[in-house]
Amino acid sequence: MNESSLIEKVKKILDSKIIGDDTAPMKIGNKTLLFTNDILLEGQHFLDHFPTVHLGWKAVSVNVSDIVASGGQPKYLLVSLLLPKNKTDLVDSIYRGIAKACRYYGCQVIGGNMTASDKLGIDIFMVGEAKKFVARRGAHPKDNLYLSGPVGDSKAGLELLLMKRTVYEPFEKKLIERHLRPVVDLKLKNLIGRYATAAIDLSDGLSSDAGHLSKNSRVKLVLNAKQIPISDELKQFCIKYRHDPIGFAVGGGEDYRILFATKNRLPKTAAGLYLIGSLKQGSGLYLDKIKLANKSFDHFSSS
């Protein structure tokens, strides 16, 4: 069974209509609170030879990414730490990373939990606040599709880390940094709240997450290959290791950029955003004229 069919099963058991978006919005008084959680687990999201210094930062960022994609500001978090008995010294660097990220994003740890475990893991539950919740559904045919920055860098960084080299070139170090220490642009929350008809953050990869947006909004989504932003570092990487940059940009996960649809073109003042496609009547995900199969990363598939 893959992840989405497992989620469907859970929704059925719980008889839930709300499960399945980046965050769960709850109206409390006159406020809309957003709830989300995400875990980083050794062996699944990182390996034990990866430097642990950025782990706390990344664990916060991956949750912030979901809150911002829903148009919200991160506010509070609870941290569950799974800690091997022989690695208790890591508490220091992990929590320094968490504290640094909280200062950067303007949120606060208000509690948590620790447990001994075979593998290291950080599970964060985060609460955000939004003026208006933006979901994966809501995009219409003829909407424009925007992306908040270059994609594919994180996958390249991961491949470099897996090479276990002792020396890396400067552009390779930048790609590794983008994998280990993703930064979410908080300014996007205002743009999304104001203009987006639907939005999603890119955790599993552009093709996979664009597929979710298309499916949930019930529209056909067309990506223009030439408009997809690719960093100079990824271009260098693809020349050196003979890869196709578009393959990395479309298939790579963990970039934590935000993909969103808007009814009208955004004003020119919205710098750093890329118009990468459009929505049409119909269904399915296309790269130019080619239909993309949903080959997203799935924790539960064996390949």
Which residues of the shown chain bind Mg ion in the complex (CB under 5 A)?
A: 22, 66, 201, 203
Beta bridge partners of 25: 34
* E-only strand ranges, 133-266: 144-147, 196-201, 220-223, 258-262
Q: Which is nearer to Mg ion, 60 or 83 (CB)?
A: 60
Place of tokens 């504290």: 99
Alpha carbon of 10 to those of 78, 136, 209: distances in Å? 23, 19, 20
Smaller CB distance to Mg ion: residue 22 or 123?
22
Q: How far is the CB of 256 from Mg ion (least distance, A)?
A: 9
Give least dist CB 42 to Mg ion, A. 21
| Residue 22 Cβ vs Mg ion, minimum distance, rounded to whole Å | 4
Beta carbon of residue 201, minimum distance to Mg ion (angstroms, whole number): 4
Amino acid, res. 130:
A
Give whichever of 67 and 249 is closer to Mg ion, judged by the CB atom. 67
Taking the least distance from each CB to Mg ion, the nearer of 203 and 214 is 203
Q: Can you name the residues that pair with 199 across neighbouring β-strands?
A: 260
Residue number, 135 or 191, with CB nearest to Mg ion: 135
Closer Cβ to Mg ion, 42 or 201, answer by number = 201
Asked whether the beta carbons of 40 and 34 are under 8 A apart, the reply is no
Of the pair 44, 115, the CB lying nearest Mg ion is at 44
CA neighbor of 52 nearest in space, from 89, 93, 92, 80: 93
Q: Which string of b and e fits 263-275 if b means at least 16 CB within 10 Å? A: eeebeeebeebbe
Q: CA-to-CA distance for 231 and 237, rounded, in angstroms? A: 10
Which residue is closest to Mg ion by CB?
Answer: 22
Q: How far is the CB of 36 from Mg ion (least distance, A)?
A: 8
Determine the residue type at 17. K
CB atoms inside a 10 Å sphere around CB 163: 9
By beta-carbon proximity to Mg ion, the closer residue of 129 and 169 is 129
Report helix, strand or coil for 277: strand
Distance separating alpha carbons of residues 65 and 204, to the nearest angstrom? 12
Smallest distance, Å, CB 115 to Mg ion?
A: 25
Token digits for 26? 């709850």
Do 36 and 24 touch, CB atoms closer than 8 A? yes
- Output the smallest distance, CB 190 to Mg ion, in A: 19
**Six-digit token string for 84:** 């091997």
Minimum distance of Mg ion from residue 165's CB (angstroms):
31
User: Cα separation of 230 and 246, whole Å?
Assistant: 8
